[in-house]
Amino acid sequence: MAAYAESHSSYPIAKSIKEAFDQEVGNKRIKEYQEISGHGIKAVVDDKEIMVSNIKLMSKEAIKSQKVNEDGTIAYLAIDKKFAGYIIITEELKENSIKAINDLKKHGTNGLKMLTGDRKAVARSVAQRLGLNKYYAELLSDHKVKKVEELLGQQSKNDKLVFVGDGINDAFILARSDIGAAMEGFGSNAAIEAADVVLMSEKPSKSITAINTTQRTKKLFGSGLRCERHSPMGTLGIVTMWEAVFADVGVELSAVLYALRISRNVK
């Protein structure tokens, strides 16, 4: 029932439940579907109301349920307003995530923080494994927005706040941040549309690649500006027309060559 209720969701938890079910989900059995931001999902399957949610929605709907204190993300299941059980989804960190955090620290990135809707115990465990000193847990979508607004208000003039997210509820925060980054591999369409940067893989360490590419590209703009100065100089007769033409074509050629150089050298 949980797999059917989660069949239209793109969230990682939904994907985990569907993979664990390991059978084809017949969409004809699903009559209604509703995502409740920050709480869970309601769906009508075989004329039964299925709810897969956190404990907050269970309480809000006055459904008596067994509160679980085990490690992991808990998905509570109710069928026709009656508690039916729960599913534990344990957090599994990819080595690439740890590498990304370590590389960002080496690069001099300050103030790495995690914002999550997970319980404090889960957030604390993940933050410790990632080597993060700051984390904010049990955040609904509007809480995340307020926290980002707070962080934006605390930064100094030359600081930039980068937010990385992949959920549909992260879209506004991605747009509001100085730089929003989404991951193409499992990001929602809304998050990808709102982001300034889209990492074309599921590897968080590609954020370092993006930073290195940006730094190298800035050098290209510098050389391009120097060459572009020849155009007005040619108009004024300070340099010959051929010199101006050569400089103009040189900018385009240098852009192509530099792009090839970046693609080979940036890791």
Q: Would the pTM count as exceeding 0.85?
A: no
| Residue 65 pLDDT greater than 90, yes or no | no
User: For residue 44, what pLDDT is reported?
Assistant: 93
User: For residue 221, what pLDDT is reported?
Assistant: 58
Q: Is the dihedral of CA 118, 123, 129, 133 positive or negative?
A: positive
User: For residue 238, what pLDDT is reported?
Assistant: 59
Q: Tell me which residue has tokens 């990632």.
A: 130
Label residues 4-26 b or e (16+ Cβ within 10 Å = b): bbbbebbbebbebbbeeeeeeee
Question: What residues are paired with 115 via a beta bridge?
Answer: 136
Tokens of 171: 């879209």
- Looking at every residue in the chain, the average pLDDT score rounds to 81
The top-scoring range by mean pLDDT among 8-12, 21-25, 92-96, 239-243 is: 21-25
User: For residue 78, what pLDDT is reported?
Assistant: 94
Q: What is the CATH number of domain 95-206?
A: 3.40.50.1000
Alpha helices per DSSP H over the chain:
2-5, 12-21, 55-60, 95-106, 120-130, 141-154, 171-176, 189-194, 206-228, 230-235, 241-265
Tokens of 62: 């006055």
User: For residue 141, what pLDDT is reported?
Assistant: 81
Q: Is the dihedral of CA 115, 150, 187, 105 positive or negative?
A: negative
Q: What is the CATH number of domain 2-89?
A: 3.40.1110.10
